[in-house]
Chains A and B, each alone.
Chain A
Amino acid sequence: MPVKGRIVRISGPLIIAENMQGAQMFEMVRVGEDRLIGEITRIRGDKAYIQVYESTTGLKPGEVVEGTGAPLSVELGPGLLGTIYDGVQRPLPLIAETIARDLPHRRMFIERGIDVPPLPRDKKWHFKPQAELGGKVEGGDVLGIVEETSLITHKIMVPPGVRGTLTWLAVEGDYTVDEVIAQVRTDGKTIDIRMAQRWPVRIPRPFKAKLDPTEPLITGTRIIDTLFPMARGGTGAVPGGFGTGKTVTLHSLAQWSSARVVVYIGCGERGNEMTEVLERFPKYKDPWTGKPLMERTILIANTSNMPVAAREASIYVGVTLAEYYRDMGYDVLLVADSTSRWAEALREIAGRLEEMPAEEGYPSYLASRLAEFYERAGRVEALGSPERMGSVTIVGAVSPPGGDFTEPVTSHTKRFIRVFWALDTKLAYSRHYPAINWLLSYSAYTDLVAEWWHKNVDKRWKEYRDEAMEILLREDELQEIVRLVGTESLDEKDKLVLETARLLKDGFLKQNAFDPIDAFTTPEKQFKLLKMILDFHRKAAQLVEHGATVAQIRDAVGRLYVEMVKAKFSIKNDELEKIEELRNRALKALESLEARLG
């Protein structure tokens, strides 16, 4: 019997209900006449403290609170891909339709108390059985498949925890998510299995074994793939002040990365940013398959003007969906914009619960919550058979107040992630995009993914990458001197370092996310561009050794310099020979200078 109590207090998104004995921690409840969705976050005596995922305006003490007997959970099954959900997995288009039925002029607004199912109920999916009748099955075993989109084959799996004999399996045909498609007999009981299954969001889905990441998650962003690479199953953070490019970076990852499934969580950010994805992704093509991007994408939108408590839940809803596709054997990318808004939601709820604040008002469990979240990333061997590997890569944006990275969310996040793409206000002001600061950023996966590059792109990848890094670091030291005495007093060798660093910045690191050619660079093109610049540098360094000046070198290459800078957006991914040819012309120009100088 689910509990039934009454509201005694309302304070913003937090309510307190009494007469709630028997309620479970994190149980989902229905609040008030409008049956708003809430979740129990603390129990004291017969009182339950409840965070409410919808606006509490108009609620009154005395209204009823009803338990549901289950923790907050998501619905899993075909129909997730291509959908945009709110923070507690209600499809936003369906909310609009429901409202429009009674109040057409209010269609564009989200009202409270709208109850809509996460998955379409009447849609029939073509199910192909793949398991053996009479055989033993257990959690994770694939019972059959559904072509969910033209990109993703959805595997219908035995829910974790279920084990027994497969006594019945539906024949190939069309079924709704509510129809039974299999029966498993265990200890004399028969368990019905449907395509729609539920999983509590705060509990990580189980797997057989966690494995080390080995392959890079290619993103097409040069500074990321080449200098600070991400691995499939890795974790990363993108911190930066407002307007530095966090969202553009996450959009680029969602759009271009080599993940098979993308879960995009807009957590406390702008409505228009979700609209942008929603309008573009059905039109944009997945660069790896040529299919519409929306077919691999799930959006979760809890924008900054939506109820604050649902921001807290949205992160868990998202990561649970990501784990589900991981369990089918896919590489999933989850991006969350912004984890700071999630942390602030934690802070707001904790404040209303009158919990003792730790740093800057955040609750003392901020760090452990962040750790738990990023821990749900990883490359795993999935439960069940056939054997499958899948991964969840998590990248979170962090929005530090005043752009100050020493604040609690940034500093704690740093402890739990392996890739740090630090966005820099100064670079953004001068429109150096992506404004990823190469001195502050790092990736712990560089050595791991080097092997992939050496096997698939070029054996000297690491060598060139490290050299580029060295030049950039050296340039920073030299700039200190330049600030005191100007450039003219540097020796020629150092001037060349400044010159090459500029070429690297303008011709390689800067990348316009909105230019059709520049936005996505294949690994091969990345390496070719890098090699062109560095081979030029090596040759120029030789000349300088032999007495040439940097001015002479600039003169000798003339307009070829501009061509090298522009190669990133004037030469397409499939015209690599043009880069090679440009490189050769630049080297020739240097050789003839060499000849002239004797």
Chain B
Amino acid sequence: MGMEIAGIREYSRITEIKGPLLIVEGVTNVAYDEIVEVELPTGEKRRGRVLDVARGVAVVQVFEGTTGITTTGTRVRFLGKPLEIPVSEDMLGRIFNGLGEPIDGGPKIIAEDERDVNGAPLNPAERSYPEDFIQTGVSAIDGMNTLVRGQKLPIFSGSGMPHNILAAQIARQATVRGEAEEFAVVFAAIGIKYDDYMFFKKFFEETGALNRVAMFVNLADEPAMVRLVTPRSALTLAEYLAYERDMHVLVILTDMTNYAEALREISAAREEVPGRQGYPGYLYSDLASIYERAGRVKGKKGSITQMPILTMPNDDITHPIPDLTGYITEGQIVLSRELHNKGIYPPINVLMSLSRLMKEGIGPGKTREDHAEVSNQLYAAYSRGVELRSLAAVVGEESLSQTDRKYLKFADLFERRFLSQGPRENRTIEQTLDIAWEILATLPEEELVNIKEETIKKYHPNYRSM
């Protein structure tokens, strides 16, 4: 039997418990996606949400898991609203769990408003196209895969690779030139290990950035279902800060692979037809509902720049998680184990990396007029060099032509001189482009077919020194 007070309805007829799911019967007036509170006989309270509802029956997903829940004596309260978190500027500098509750022992958040964590889709007619160059100080990014404000650009990594260091370096160094204002950072730890979490926490502390960082933390040993909410809580705050408090927000989501695994788990429990490698067929749409919460909108000063991090299972970029992510995000920064093993930091595979919003963020007035051409030429020359490298491994360097050998050398120079830099080395875009010219100058001038004559005359070291 149920009772109702102020839109809150309580029921206790649980007929089935299956993985993270409860089947509750005898319910009335339950809404799809409504939030519930589950009270165990011990008095412990957990939260959940309605996944499916038919007349009299609701399927409830319990975020903290169903361990210890009994079919008798457990009470399920339907709260009459979707999952909401408080939002407020005061949340910067604080640490929360995935559901947005403070876990840092600090004072209660005085909410300026409560917001549905699911958000609502941005109207494409109200967006404004991202085009403000963010200088990260990392040559491979600034020079060849430029990040702009309001972009969603993930890091595709593998276990044991320095994606955390790179993300931290970007968070520390990212600036928009000509603007003093720093990014506010919203950080979502999604099922990551304690030491990865501590790495970021320490990093924010050391850089004195803690007061402009809000962290939403769900660690590896914490309930998996909360992972489905953690990035949404983080983005709900980010949207508030960006669109109602005029802030430029950088959102770091790590690790999206753990998110997708939690989604697979719930899909399996619901006995849905599995898609590729057991992930649900709607993984694409589900990921999009997270990644698309980035951007700029008309008439608002703020923006949300997203940097999701994911580890590719077996370093396989065709695995559904990186694959579907790549289909949604505006490019990707791919880390390479081969470069990492060669001792190169940052080990960015520039050929597999891409920034789709680069073209609008670079050029005269933004970076430098030669930027696009130089970047194209670096790509052309480096990819040729890499191709010749594998050829040389078979047929020997001697059977390559003079020019081809120059390309081989170029590929090495590119990796050692241009790509490679220290985790605290912050290069300006001019430095990055100058290094590019320096290495391009080792190729015969008539090989620079991607660069216009005027540009060569103006920037090629052969002419500049004169």
Residues of A close to B56: CB separation below 8 A:
61
Stretch from B324-332, B428-436, B457-465 forming part of the interface with A: B324-332
State A487–B404 Cα separation when bound (angstroms): 10
Binary interface encoding of chain B residues 307-327 relative to chain A, with 1 for a CB under 8 A from any of its CBs, else 0 = 000000000001010011011
When the two chains form their complex, are residues B391 and A570 in contact, meaning their CB atoms are under 8 A apart? no
When the two chains form their complex, are residues B453 and A570 in contact, meaning their CB atoms are under 8 A apart? yes
Residues of A close to B352: CB separation below 8 A:
429
Quick check: is A101 within 8 A (CB to CB) of the other chain?
Answer: no
Cβ-closest chain B residue relative to A351: B273
Cβ-closest chain A residue relative to B285: A308
When the two chains form their complex, are residues A514 and B122 in contact, meaning their CB atoms are under 8 A apart? no
Quick check: is B351 within 8 A (CB to CB) of the other chain?
Answer: yes
Other-chain contact of B122, A12, A56, A108, A561 (Cβ < 8 Å)? A108
Give, as a whole number of angstroms, the nearest-CB distance from B283 to chain A.
Answer: 10
Residues of A close to B391: CB separation below 8 A:
482-483, 486
Max chain A C-beta neighbours (<10 A), residue from B29, B327, B356: B327
Quick check: is B195 within 8 A (CB to CB) of the other chain?
Answer: no
When the two chains form their complex, are residues B29 and A62 in contact, meaning their CB atoms are under 8 A apart? yes
Quick check: is A189 within 8 A (CB to CB) of the other chain?
Answer: no
Residues of A close to B449: CB separation below 8 A:
506, 562, 565-566
Residues of A close to B356: CB separation below 8 A:
243
Stretch from B67-75, B173-181, B202-210, B295-303 forming part of the interface with A: B295-303
Other-chain contact of A304, B34, B276, B285 (Cβ < 8 Å)? B285
When the two chains form their complex, are residues A110 and B120 in contact, meaning their CB atoms are under 8 A apart? yes
Cβ-closest chain A residue relative to B128: A275
Give, as a whole number of angstroms, the nearest-CB distance from B370 to chain A.
Answer: 14
Residues of B close to A268: CB separation below 8 A:
284-285, 288
When the two chains form their complex, are residues A272 and B379 in contact, meaning their CB atoms are under 8 A apart? no
Stretch from B257-265, B395-403, B418-426 forming part of the interface with A: B395-403
Quick check: is B338 within 8 A (CB to CB) of the other chain?
Answer: no
Stretch from B15-23, B47-55, B212-220 forming part of the interface with A: B47-55
Quick check: is B168 within 8 A (CB to CB) of the other chain?
Answer: no
When the two chains form their complex, are residues B328 and A109 in contact, meaning their CB atoms are under 8 A apart? no
State A112–B243 Cα separation when bound (angstroms): 20
When the two chains form their complex, are residues A60 and B30 in contact, meaning their CB atoms are under 8 A apart? yes
State A268–B287 Cα separation when bound (angstroms): 12
A430 and B120 in contact, given A275-B129, A341-B284, A360-B275 (Cβ under 8 angstroms) = no
Cβ-closest chain B residue relative to A242: B326
Residues of A close to B320: CB separation below 8 A:
401
Cβ-closest chain A residue relative to B81: A58
State A348–B267 Cα separation when bound (angstroms): 13
Quick check: is A545 within 8 A (CB to CB) of the other chain?
Answer: no
Binary interface encoding of chain A residues 506-520 relative to chain B, with 1 for a CB under 8 A from any of its CBs, else 0 = 100000101000000
When the two chains form their complex, are residues B273 and A305 in contact, meaning their CB atoms are under 8 A apart? no
When the two chains form their complex, are residues A109 and B124 in contact, meaning their CB atoms are under 8 A apart? no
Please tell me the number of chain B residues within 8 Å of chain A, measured between CB atoms.
Answer: 80
Other-chain contact of B446, A10, A107, A399, A559 (Cβ < 8 Å)? A559
When the two chains form their complex, are residues B126 and A108 in contact, meaning their CB atoms are under 8 A apart? yes
Max chain A C-beta neighbours (<10 A), residue from B54, B281, B391, B452: B281
Cβ-closest chain A residue relative to B392: A486
Please tell me the number of chain A residues within 8 Å of chain B, measured between CB atoms.
Answer: 80
A485 and B284 in contact, given A96-B123, A303-B121 (Cβ under 8 angstroms) = no
Quick check: is B88 within 8 A (CB to CB) of the other chain?
Answer: no
Cβ-closest chain B residue relative to A354: B273
Cβ-closest chain A residue relative to B298: A108
* In the complex, chain A residues 371-429 whose Cβ is within 8 Å of any chain B Cβ: 399, 401-404, 429
When the two chains form their complex, are residues B399 and A489 in contact, meaning their CB atoms are under 8 A apart? yes
Other-chain contact of A429, B33, B326, B351 (Cβ < 8 Å)? B351
Quick check: is A8 within 8 A (CB to CB) of the other chain?
Answer: yes
Residues of A close to B32: CB separation below 8 A:
10, 56-60
State A12–B272 Cα separation when bound (angstroms): 13
Max chain B C-beta neighbours (<10 A), residue from A304, A308, A488: A304
Quick check: is A484 within 8 A (CB to CB) of the other chain?
Answer: yes
Quick check: is B406 within 8 A (CB to CB) of the other chain?
Answer: no
State A271–B130 Cα separation when bound (angstroms): 11
Residues of B close to A399: CB separation below 8 A:
327
Other-chain contact of A9, B55, B324, B394 (Cβ < 8 Å)? B55
Give, as a whole number of angstroms, the nearest-CB distance from B14 to chain A.
Answer: 19
Quick check: is A588 within 8 A (CB to CB) of the other chain?
Answer: no
State A105–B302 Cα separation when bound (angstroms): 13
When the two chains form their complex, are residues A272 and B318 in contact, meaning their CB atoms are under 8 A apart? no
Quick check: is A117 within 8 A (CB to CB) of the other chain?
Answer: no
Residues of A close to B332: CB separation below 8 A:
243
Quick check: is A306 within 8 A (CB to CB) of the other chain?
Answer: yes
Residues of A close to B118: CB separation below 8 A:
57
Other-chain contact of B383, A61, A106, A429 (Cβ < 8 Å)? A429
Quick check: is A454 within 8 A (CB to CB) of the other chain?
Answer: no
Quick check: is A274 within 8 A (CB to CB) of the other chain?
Answer: yes
Residues of B close to A512: CB separation below 8 A:
376
Residues of B close to A274: CB separation below 8 A:
124-125, 127
Other-chain contact of B379, A431, A488, A506 (Cβ < 8 Å)? A431
Cβ-closest chain A residue relative to B355: A243
Residues of A close to B297: CB separation below 8 A:
108
Quick check: is B31 within 8 A (CB to CB) of the other chain?
Answer: yes
Residues of A close to B194: CB separation below 8 A:
none
Cβ-closest chain B residue relative to A506: B449
When the two chains form their complex, are residues B318 and A351 in contact, meaning their CB atoms are under 8 A apart? no
* In the complex, chain A residues 419-453 whose Cβ is within 8 Å of any chain B Cβ: 429-431
Quick check: is A270 within 8 A (CB to CB) of the other chain?
Answer: yes
Cβ-closest chain B residue relative to A301: B124
Residues of A close to B124: CB separation below 8 A:
84, 92, 266, 271-272, 274-275, 278, 301, 303
Max chain B C-beta neighbours (<10 A), residue from A56, A61, A360: A61
Max chain A C-beta neighbours (<10 A), residue from B53, B123, B331, B387: B123
When the two chains form their complex, are residues B452 and A566 in contact, meaning their CB atoms are under 8 A apart? yes
State A97–B186 Cα separation when bound (angstroms): 30
When the two chains form their complex, are residues B446 and A561 in contact, meaning their CB atoms are under 8 A apart? yes
Quick check: is B359 within 8 A (CB to CB) of the other chain?
Answer: yes
Quick check: is B354 within 8 A (CB to CB) of the other chain?
Answer: yes
Binary interface encoding of chain A residues 494-513 relative to chain B, with 1 for a CB under 8 A from any of its CBs, else 0 = 00000000000010000010
Residues of A close to B328: CB separation below 8 A:
270, 304
Residues of A close to B129: CB separation below 8 A:
272, 275-276, 279
State A271–B129 Cα separation when bound (angstroms): 10
When the two chains form their complex, are residues A487 and B400 in contact, meaning their CB atoms are under 8 A apart? yes
Residues of A close to B284: CB separation below 8 A:
268, 304, 341, 344
When the two chains form their complex, are residues A485 and B395 in contact, meaning their CB atoms are under 8 A apart? yes
When the two chains form their complex, are residues B123 and A486 in contact, meaning their CB atoms are under 8 A apart? no
Max chain B C-beta neighbours (<10 A), residue from A60, A344, A357: A60
Give, as a whole number of angstroms, the nearest-CB distance from B462 to chain A.
Answer: 14
Residues of B close to A485: CB separation below 8 A:
395, 399
Give, as a whole number of angstroms, the nearest-CB distance from A488 to chain B.
Answer: 5
When the two chains form their complex, are residues B122 and A8 in contact, meaning their CB atoms are under 8 A apart? no
Quick check: is A111 within 8 A (CB to CB) of the other chain?
Answer: yes
Cβ-closest chain B residue relative to A248: B356
A272 and B295 in contact, given A429-B383, A484-B395 (Cβ under 8 angstroms) = yes
A483 and B394 in contact, given A308-B282, A308-B285, A561-B446 (Cβ under 8 angstroms) = yes
* Further pairs besides A58-B34, A96-B125, A308-B282: 11, Cβ < 8 Å: A62-B55, A93-B125, A109-B122, A242-B323, A271-B121, A308-B285, A344-B281, A344-B282, A360-B276, A512-B376, A562-B449
Q: Which 5 A-B pairs have the closest CB atoms?
A: A304-B288, A486-B399, A486-B395, A430-B383, A402-B318
B interface residue numbers (CB < 8 A to A) = 28-34, 52-56, 82, 118-130, 243-244, 272-276, 281-282, 284-285, 288-289, 292-293, 295, 297-298, 300, 318, 320, 323-324, 326-328, 330-332, 351-352, 354, 356-357, 359, 372, 376, 379-380, 383-384, 387, 391, 394-396, 399-401, 404, 446, 449, 452-453
A interface residue numbers (CB < 8 A to B) = 8-12, 16, 55-62, 84, 92-93, 95-96, 105-111, 241-243, 266, 268, 270-272, 274-276, 278-279, 301, 303-306, 308, 341, 344, 347-348, 351, 357, 360-361, 399, 401-404, 429-431, 482-489, 506, 512, 514, 558-559, 561-562, 565-566, 569-570
